[in-house]
Structure formats: structure tokens, C-alpha cells
Amino acid sequence: MGIDEFVVVEMDDVASAEQDHLDSVGSYIDRIADTLWPINKKIHDNPELGYEEKIAHAALTGFLKTRKGWKVTPSAYGLETAFVAVYDSGKKGPVISFNAEMDALPGIGHACGHNLIATASLSGALATAECMKECDIPGKVVLFGTPAEEGGKIKLLEAGAYKDYKCDINLISHPGIVEDGALVRTAAYIRFKVEYFGLEAHAAASPWLGINALDALITAYNGLSVLRQQTMPGDIIQGHITDGGLAPNIIHAYAAGVFIVRANTRDRLAVLKKKVDSCFEAGAAATGATLKVTFEQSYDDHVPNRALGRSYRHFFNRLGGAIPTADIDEIEHRSMASSDQGNISYAMPSLSPGFWIRPGNIGSGPHSPEFTEVSGTREAFELALNVGKGLAATAIDVLTRKGLLDEVKKEFEAMKR
């Protein structure tokens, strides 16, 4: 059985406005907006690289320690800037987890808007807990502070963080300049370093005595260019040469480059990576150079849970959004960008909605100075709070609506097969 067998039912399969708690979580987030704004600004105006988010960590954990009923563990699981904050109703029920990112990009600050991700997850987690308290809803909320989008969640997964807290689902979001979406898919990704080792010789007097490592790398590079003719839509091969030799009159004894391969799914990535590996092996075989490949990083593709997406879409659209139906949403919000949230989606049901924030000039999308500026505005903050409302309402829906969590988990298990 595959994921396509899960038929998406629209509004009639989600709690009605009279039954759900959207107004409650929305009103609560509105009341705490002015309290959360300085935290958002502090993170934005003090950009920190991955695993160095000390100011953001202090701001978030310091605030959470002031909230009644929350237990906060700073510097969790051996990561200085990770944290875990837990609200426990005291009654056994589902465990809803949120991820809060907080790292910035080198040189251009919060050009990916991770301050807004932290705001959406923080507000969503707080509102979920408040609604549980006010309405006597069993269960638990866990907010993970996840450093370094490029690997922090993987480190927490490997350390057993999500298993330790018995998380049933995980919620996060991401800003951008495309229209709002619930079912955001990202690409599977692997990054690695390639090195060739040859032998120096005089390039004019006795080149036959040498082994040209740069020739090996260029042969492989050209092989990748030829391979692209037979790759599938969604396959991406990227690379650059970091070391190309010492001087033109020396046969190059060393050459190196860094390469990235992406594909729509992790299964497809495994197939494509084998073809890419063959190109590098061919370079070594053609020249006699010795090949060394060093793994650097990888992420799984993010597979959004449609049942969670249906709930989020229903609530977010009632807040003024216009997310289309599932089939259209998945097409419009497939991204070839990559994130370690993908690994979360293979460990538990996950949802990572995308949300629009006002762009600056044409072409000023994420990873640009203009996006850094926009992500620090009050308008972007308010849009992130709206996402927090949708996430909280979805969380409460999972906690209260009979059969929803079973459906979410059934879909997740089918996806993994």
C-alpha cells in the first residue's frame, strides 16, 4: 500500500468551527504578540551561525523558564545551543513536538528567516499548551531548540531526543516568497569532497613521468556533464573545483572539489549517487590517479503528512490564507532546496508549511540581503504568528479529534514501505 491510497478529504473531515479551538489559540497568540516581538528581534538582530546561536538560545530558554508549567533543559543532548522545553498536562495523551530553528547565514544574517521559524514554533507550542490547560486536554507539548538547519536535527535524532520524549508528530514551518502552502516537499541531498592524488613531473621536459590529478578531476567533471543528459527531472548535480594544481609547468599531483547531488527522494538519490560515483571512478581509471571521496553531509527529502496538512490547511485558510487542495499544493510547493527536517519526516509524521513574507526587490528571495531586511519587519513577525496559530490549531486537532492521530500514523507507515 502506498501514500497515494490515502484519499484527501477536505473541509467536512476537519472539526467544525464550533468544535475546534482555533479562536482560543488565536486569541492567546494575539495577547502575547508584544511579549514575543522582542525575542524575535533579538534573534534577528544578532545573527549567529549554526551551533553558535548563544544569544538566541539564551533568549528563548530564558523566556520559556518564566512560563508556568514549562520545564526547560538548556544545552541539551551535548549541543550547547540546543534545548528542550516541555509542557506536560499530567494526563496521558499524544505528544506534540515543535522544532525551533535559530541559526543565520554567513555574511548576510537571517536571510533564510530562521528567526521567524523560531517565532512560529514558539508561539504555536505556547498556544497549544495554554489551550490544553484551559480545556483540560490530555497530552504533552515538546519544543526542541534545533541549532544549525544543516544537521542539528539529525544530531538530536541520533542522540535519541525525539524517542526519549516519545514524540508522535513534529511541526515546523519556513518563510519564503512563494504563496502559502501546507505540503512542502524538499529534496534529498548529499555533499562530499573528492580528491585525486597523482605524481609531479616537469610538464614540458618529462610529462610522461607524472600522473595528472587535475586531468582525473576534469575527466570526472566532464563525465558528470554527459551524465546530466540521462538524468531525471528533479536530479541535480552541482560542484566546484577547490584545488586545481600549483603551476602550469608542473604535472598536477593533487586536485580536489566539493560536489552536491540532489534528487526528489532519498531512494532516487541513492541510484543517482551510484552513477555519479562511476564518473569519479572513471577519472581515476583514465589517468592512474588515486581517488578519495569524503562524505560531508546529507539530508533526506521532506515528506509532508497529508492528514496533518489537511488540518493545517483548514485552519490556516480560516485565518485568511488561500492554500489550495492537496494535489495542487504538493505540486506548487515541491522545492529542490534541502533541510534536515527531511530526516525528521522519515522518523515521525512531519509537517513543514511554507509561508509568504513580503519580498523586497525582484529576485530578492531567501539567501539575499533584501530577505534579511524583510525577515526582521513587524509584518513578517505577524505573518509568522499566523502560522503559529495554524500549527497550534493543528496540534489541538490531533490531541482532540478521534481517529486523526491514527490516520496520521497509518499514512506515515505506508510512506515508509
Residue 215 has pLDDT above 50, yes or no: yes
Q: Tally the C-alpha atoms within 13 A of residue 80's C-alpha that lie toward its C-beta.
A: 8
> What percentage of the chain exceeds 70 in pLDDT?
94
Q: Name the band, by pLDDT with cuts 50, 70 and 90, for residue 360.
A: low
Residue 346 has pLDDT above 60, yes or no: yes
Return the minimum-mean-pLDDT range out of 14-28, 166-180, 277-291, 390-404: 14-28
Residue 362 has pLDDT above 70, yes or no: no
Q: Name the band, by pLDDT with cuts 50, 70 and 90, for residue 358.
A: confident
> What percentage of the chain exceeds 90 in pLDDT?
92
What confidence score (pLDDT) does residue 286 get? 98
Residue 16 has pLDDT above 80, yes or no: no
Domain ranges of the chain: 21-186+302-416, 188-299
Provide mean pLDDT across the span 402-409: 98
Report the distance separating Cα 79 and Cα 155, nearest Å. Answer: 9
- Cβ 55 vs Cβ 81: under 8 Å: no
Name the CATH architecture for the domain at 188-299.
2-Layer Sandwich (3.30)
Provide mean pLDDT across the span 165-174: 98
Report the distance separating Cα 153 and Cα 147, nearest Å. Answer: 7
Q: pLDDT tens across 67-87, in order?
A: 999 999 999 999 999 999 999
Residue 19 has pLDDT above 90, yes or no: no
Q: pLDDT tens across 124-151, in order?
A: 999 999 999 999 999 999 999 999 988 9
Which residue do the cell numbers 541520533 mark?
158
Provide mean pLDDT across the span 2-13: 42
Q: Tally the C-alpha atoms within 13 A of residue 325's C-alpha that lie toward its C-beta.
A: 6
Report the amino acid identity of residue 231: T
Provide mean pLDDT across the span 299-308: 97
Provide mean pLDDT across the span 233-238: 96
What confidence score (pLDDT) does residue 417 get? 82
Provide mean pLDDT across the span 232-261: 96
Q: Grid coordinates representing 354?
A: 511554507
Residue 8 has pLDDT above 80, yes or no: no
What confidence score (pLDDT) does residue 13 get? 54
Provide mean pLDDT across the span 107-112: 95
Task: Work out the angle between the directed axes of helices 378-400 and 22-45 (0-180°, nearest 10).
Answer: 140
Residue 397 has pLDDT above 70, yes or no: yes
What confidence score (pLDDT) does residue 327 get? 95
Q: What is the mean pLDDT of the chain?
A: 94
Q: Grid coordinates representing 371?
A: 530577505
Assign domain 21-186+302-416 one CATH number from 3.40.630.10, 3.60.150.10, 3.80.10.10, 3.30.565.10. 3.40.630.10
Report the distance separating Cα 90 and Cα 75, nearest Å. Answer: 25
3-state secondary structure of 408: helix
Report the distance separating Cα 172 and Cα 375, nearest Å. Answer: 17
